[in-house]
A and B are shown apart, each in its own frame.
Chain A
């Protein structure tokens, strides 16, 4: 279980290796404020609830009816229902808009694709969300560093520097994989 957790958190990060929310992470890392905090809390709750509910429906309804290929549609409908419910609670309690679609939905799909059991799916969902959350402070600090050192840089140069840094982070995470030493593997 711990292997799965760290595999999807670092070695095969949902953001850096699967590419879920690469662009979203670059956008959200502009500021670390209260809205982002609540948005991430909402995302985590929605992803966990939707994954569990979808997994149960897949196991109890879709597999017996041989309709397993329909799971993305079921996941979408459950995700929208849960998301709207949590969004309403968030707006009433905090007064903030925390709508987010692409990252949460893709994490749910990835979790359902990769998991073998319900506990497995929860672990993968949590580690995928954490991998997304962990990259945000890194990118935010990088942005601040670029702003301080090179204040005359425009948005495009900043974005390109962030993309280059993301590439470096991916290489450093995948440095343990030495399969590319063997010619012909790729």
Chain B
């Protein structure tokens, strides 16, 4: 992971992961939504370029993305209403995040297949990162792992969170911010150590 990508990841985390409830099941929904929006957005962008609709391209793209978000929300309301209520306003955060918009408006002139594979690959990498983040918050904050099942939300209790109540902090927004900051500091530390090692190798050569 280079410097640019860690910036993108931190920006995306601040935009959509930090404000979300610290439950793994919420993370699954948001990640699925993000991937769906990335796919829809890439297809629409290709459609705009194919039919030369650049003059109304931005408005069309944003309208379709918002419509896709509303579609996701309606599916959620019909299938798992509890989760739709819990997520509420957060469901619109991935749609306007810099991560999604950056990829939508950032790559021009690529073929559809290349564009889809590039965007979906980046989205997949970020999804894994976001899911690990949500999993940590769920386990540390609530002592549970929440999953999606056919009958709704399944909660597997790992330990009594009341016994380690200090960890509840990680389920909150400040806790998520601290987590992001720690990840960033660790990344800087590792990058610096690697740079020192590489410089030493150059000197030895």
Q: Are B10 and A69 in contact (CB under 8 A)?
A: no
Say yes or no for B66: interface residue by CB 8 A criterion: yes
Q: Are A19 and B19 in contact (CB under 8 A)?
A: yes
- Which interface residue of B14, B62, B168, B178 has the most chain A CB atoms within 10 A? B14
- Which interface residue of A26, A106, A167 has the most chain B CB atoms within 10 A? A167
**Smallest CB separation, B184 vs chain A (Å):** 4
Say yes or no for A149: interface residue by CB 8 A criterion: no
Task: Convert A52-92 into 0s and 1s, putting 1 for each residue whose CB lies closer than 8 angstroms to a CB of B.
Answer: 00000000000000000110110011001000000000000
Q: Which residues of A contact B178 (CB under 8 A)?
A: 163-164, 167
The CA-CA distance from A156 to B89 in the complex, in Å, is: 29
CB within 8 Å for A73 and B177 given contacts A18-B19, A22-B15, A186-B171: no
**Smallest CB separation, A30 vs chain B (Å):** 14
Say yes or no for A16: interface residue by CB 8 A criterion: yes
The dominant DSSP class at the A interface is helix
Q: Are B14 and A22 in contact (CB under 8 A)?
A: yes
Please tell me the number of chain A residues within 8 Å of chain B, measured between CB atoms: 39
List the one stretch of B42-50, B92-100, B131-139 in contact with chain A.
B92-100
Q: Which residues of A contact B96 (CB under 8 A)?
A: 101-102, 105-106
Q: Are B15 and A76 in contact (CB under 8 A)?
A: no
Q: Are A186 and B168 in contact (CB under 8 A)?
A: yes
Q: Given A23, A76, A183, which contacts B66 in the complex, CB threshold below 8 Å?
A: A76
In the complex, the chain A residue whose C-beta lies closest to that of B12 is A23
Closest 10 CB pairs of A and B: A19-B19, A167-B174, A23-B14, A102-B96, A167-B177, A163-B181, A160-B181, A160-B184, A22-B14, A170-B174
Q: A18-B89, A72-B70 are in contact. List 7 more A-B contacts (CB 8 A).
A: A22-B18, A80-B59, A101-B96, A157-B188, A163-B177, A164-B178, A166-B174
Interface residues, chain B, with chain A CB atoms under 8 Å away: 3, 6, 10-11, 14-15, 18-20, 59, 62-63, 66-67, 69-70, 73-74, 88-90, 92-93, 96-98, 101, 141-142, 161-162, 165, 168, 171, 173-175, 177-178, 180-182, 184-185, 187-188
